[in-house]
Amino acid sequence: MALVLNEDEVMLRDTAEGFFATKAPIKALRTLRDTNDETGFDRTLWSEMADMGFAGIAIGEDHGGVDMGFQAAGLLAEQMGRNLTASPFLSTAILAATVLREAGSDDQKNTWLPKIAAGETIMAVALDEGPKHNPAGIETTAVKSGNGFKLNGSKAMVIDGHAADTLIVAAKTNDGLAFFLVDPKAKGVAIERTIMVDAHNAARIDLDDVEVDGDALIGETNSEDALRKVLAAGRGVVAAELLGAGGEAFRTTVEYIKERKQFGVPVGSFQALQHRSSHLYTELEISRSAVLGALSALDAGDPKADRYCSMAKSKLGDVAKLAALEGVQMFGGVGMTDEYDIGLFLKRVRVLQELLGDAAYHQNEHAKANKF
C-alpha cells in the first residue's frame, strides 16, 4: 500500500496548496455566503479547476481526464477542506464521474466524461432520501414505461442539486438499484435549494411521475456493484476533505494558543491544553494514515477497498469533529464569533461528517462486514 506520496503526488499537493489558498480561500466562502450568491460556488473557479486538470482527476485520459486516481483526488479534497472551498468537485468530478465510469455504456462515457473533465457540465447525484445516509433504504422507483422509465420519489441532501445541469438519480428497478440521467427542467422535477449550516449547498428534489427515455438509464437496470464503488470513492474523498478541515482547524488552534495570553502567560503553556493538543495531533496523524490507506487501496483495486474507505470515513468523522470542538473551546469566547474562522470549520465538519455516513453508520457497517 502506498502510504508515502510519490513525486507526482507531492507535486500535485504543492500545486493544489497554492491554488486553493490563492483562488479559493476562506474569505471566498464568506463572500459567497454574505452576497447570497445564486449558485453558492464560483463557476469561474470551477473552470480554472478544470484547466488545472482537477475536474478530470479521476477520469481516464481517453475521456479527457488526467487519470491520477483517488489518492490524488484526496490530496485535492484535503486542500479544499483546509480552505472550506465551495466547488462541484465532489458532486461532479467524484460522484457523477464514478457513476458514469463504473456503470455507463461506452456511448454515455464518451458523451459525459469529457464534458466533466473540461468543466463544461455540473452534475449532481441524488442518492439519499431520509434524515440519515442509508443507501440500502432507497425507495425512489423507476418503472418501465413505454420505451423509457417513470421515476417517483423524494431525494434529500443532493449536493449541488440546485445548480446541476444534469441530475443522476438512484432508483429501484425490478432488477435492483440503477442510475438515471434526469434533466432538472423535466416535467415533474421539483428542486428546492437548501443552503446548509456551512454555507455550502444541497437540494431537496421531488420526482413526481418523471418520464425519461430508455437511454437515460446509465448502463444496466442493476448497478449495485457500481454503487459500491461510487460510495467508496465518495467516502474516501470526503474523509480526505475532513482531514484537511480538521487539520487546519487544529493548526490554527495551536497557533492561537501560542499567542493568546491569560494570567500573564500564553494559554498554550498550560498542560491542560498541551495534552489535549498532543492527543489531537496524534489522532490526526492516525487519521492521515487511514485516508492514505483507503484511497491507495481504491486505486490498487484492492477487493477490500470499500471496507477501508468506510473505516476511514468513520475515523475521520470522529477525529475532525474532535478537532473542531476542541478548536472552538480553546479559542474561547472569540471562537463563538462569526469573525473568527474556527466556527466555520465546526460547521463544515458537521456537514462532512454526516455526508455519506457518520462514524456510527460506518462502525455498524464494519461490524456487519465482520459478522458480529
Shortest distance in whole angstroms from residue 97 CB to another protein: 27
**Using the rule CB under 8 A, is 269 a contact of another protein?**
yes
- Partners of 179 in the β-ladder: 170, 218
Count the residues in the chain.
Answer: 372
**Using the rule CB under 8 A, is 134 a contact of another protein?**
no
Closest to another protein by CB, 38 or 272: 272
Q: Which amino acid does the sequence have at 104?
A: G
In terms of DSSP bridges, do strands 123-126 and 166-172 run parallel, antiparallel, or are they unpaired?
parallel
Q: Which amino acid does the sequence have at 215?
A: D
- Alpha carbon distance 278, 283 (integer Å): 9
**Using the rule CB under 8 A, is 281 a contact of another protein?**
yes
Strand, helix or coil for residue 141: strand
Whether the CB-CB separation of 263 and 225 falls below 8 Å is answered with: no
In the list 191, 312, 351, 356, the residue contacting another protein (rule: CB under 8 A) is 312
Tell me the C-alpha to C-alpha distance, in Å, between residue 298 and each of 55, 103, 231: 19, 17, 11
Shortest distance in whole angstroms from residue 298 CB to another protein: 14
**Using the rule CB under 8 A, is 363 a contact of another protein?**
yes
Binding mask 33-62 for another protein (x = CB under 8 A): ------------------------------
**Using the rule CB under 8 A, is 293 a contact of another protein?**
yes
Shortest distance in whole angstroms from residue 252 CB to another protein: 13
Closest to another protein by CB, 226 or 292: 292
In the list 315, 321, 348, 350, the residue contacting another protein (rule: CB under 8 A) is 315
**Using the rule CB under 8 A, is 263 a contact of another protein?**
no
Closest to another protein by CB, 36 or 262: 262
Placement of cell 468530478 in the chain: 93
Closest to another protein by CB, 1 or 196: 1
Q: How many chain residues bind another protein (CB under 8 A)?
A: 44
In the list 138, 226, 292, 309, the residue contacting another protein (rule: CB under 8 A) is 292
Whether the CB-CB separation of 46 and 122 falls below 8 Å is answered with: yes
223 contact partners, CB below 8 Å, separation of at least 6: 99, 102, 103, 176, 177, 178, 179
Beta strands in 138-274 (DSSP E): 141-145, 148-159, 166-172, 177-182, 189-195, 201-212, 217-218, 261-262, 265-266
**Using the rule CB under 8 A, is 366 a contact of another protein?**
yes
Residues found near another protein in the complex (CB under 8 A) = 1, 3-4, 254, 257-258, 265-266, 268-269, 271, 273-275, 277-279, 281-282, 285-290, 292-293, 308, 311-312, 314-315, 318, 359-360, 362-364, 366-368, 370-372
